[in-house]
Amino acid sequence: MHQRNKRETDGIHATLSEEQIRLLDKIDFPWTPRRHRLQTAWNAKYQELTDFYEEHGHVRMKRGTSLYWWTVVQRRKRAGIQQYVPLTMEQIRLLDKINFTWNPKEDKQERLRAMWQAKYRHLAEFYNKHGHLKVKYGSGLYTWMANQRQRRVGKGNLATLTDEQVRLLDEVGFSWAPTGGPHETAWHTKYRELANFYKQHGHTNVTAPGSLYTWTVNQRRRQIGKGDCVPLNDEQIRLLDDIGFPWAQKA
């Protein structure tokens, strides 16, 4: 098609000479209207986001990617931040169609609530099956239970439990008593060392002089309440029994 005719069909007034058109083409003059170019670019990114949604089932992508920053801009545009061109109703409709998250903070909170509910159901199932909550030390559920105790007292960087969460945990006989603080942490460190010894040797009768040997001797003393040692609690005794700890020292 003739250059002038082409410009006419694109809505450009046919007042340019061939030489003027040639000179403008030479410097890559954008003949297509800016609004049309922006819409084309938006459609391309939207298609990319749609492909991501169809593959992953959500639109939460890795931070720092070009698509991630595009989604950030869409939220700013809908919020009416001054330097951004507002989204059209059609663009909003298209983004809603693929469950676009307009408020990531609320979305994250909802996902955290869902994760909590899943763990709670796991705990409730354990309770219904066993009649107690003495879960295996070191398991994911054990760690989750420890986190709930910290959350109730507002310890660390964990979000505080809601009244409803506390009520649900109370319903399954959840023990809020902490497992002991620094001394308990030290105890579990040594217990893990003994558990590793058991995995390596098939028994827990430590005889070689050293800190682990001394610790096992102290556990026997604590179990019978000998000397000034703090007695073992039921959980500690159960954990030692789980790895076949010999309460009567063998020669």
| Residue 42 sits in the same domain as residue 84 | yes
Q: Are residues 32 and 67 in the same domain?
A: yes
Question: Is the Cβ–Cβ distance between 32 and 9 less than 8 Å?
Answer: no
Within 10 angstroms of residue 197's Cβ, the number of other Cβ atoms is: 17
Dist. CA 42–CA 36, nearest whole Å:
10
The one-letter amino acid at 137: Y
Dist. CA 146–CA 22, nearest whole Å: 74
d(CA 73, CA 247): 65
Instruction: Find the DSSP H helices in the chain.
Output: 3-9, 18-26, 34-56, 66-78, 89-97, 104-130, 140-152, 163-171, 181-201, 211-224, 234-242
Angle at 213 between CA 209 and CA 215, to 5 degrees: 140
Residues 137 and 89 in one domain: no
CB 51 within 8 A of CB 39: no
Give a yes or no: residue 251 inside a domain. Answer: no
Instruction: Give the pair of three-digit tokens for residue 74.
Output: 């869409």
Domain, as residue range, for 156: 106-171
Give the total number of structural domains in the chain.
3
Closest CA to 42 of 5, 76, 67, 60: 67
3 state SS of 192? helix
Assess if residue 176 is contained within a domain. Answer: no
The pLDDT of residue 2 is 40
Considering the domain boundaries, does residue 35 fall inside one?
yes
Residue pointed to by tokens 């000179």:
23
| 64 vs 114: CA distance, rounded Å | 26
The reply to whether 68 and 19 lie within a common domain is yes
Q: Verify that 100 and 61 share a domain, yes or no.
A: yes
Q: Determine, yes or no, domain membership for 250.
A: no
Q: Is residue 247 part of a domain?
A: no
Q: Which of 77, 94, 74, 95 shows the shortest CA–CA distance to 86?
A: 77
In a domain, 59, yes or no: yes
Same domain, 67 and 84: yes
> Is there a single domain that holds both residue 118 and residue 98?
no
Which of 171, 204, 225 lies at the terminal end of a domain, its last residue?
171
Both 25 and 94 in a single domain? yes
74 and 159 in a common domain: no
Torsion of CA 18, 19, 20, 26, to 10 degrees: 110
| In-domain check, residue 248 | no
Domain end marker among 104, 133, 154: 104
Domain assignment present for 94: yes
Quickly tell me which residue has 């700013």 as its tokens.
76
Asked if 120 contacts 168 with a C-beta cutoff of 8 angstroms, the reply is yes
- Statement to judge: residues 94 and 21 lie in one domain: yes
From the first residue on, what is the mean pLDDT of each consecutive set of 10 residues in the chain (251 residues)? Answer: 44 66 70 70 91 88 88 88 84 91 77 88 92 82 85 73 90 74 70 91 92 92 77 82 86 53
Which residue, of 171, 189, 216, is where some domain finishes?
171
Does residue 185 share a domain with residue 112? no
DSSP 175: -
Q: How far is the C-alpha of 141 from the C-alpha of 92, rounded, in Å?
A: 41
Is the domain of 92 the same as that of 121?
no
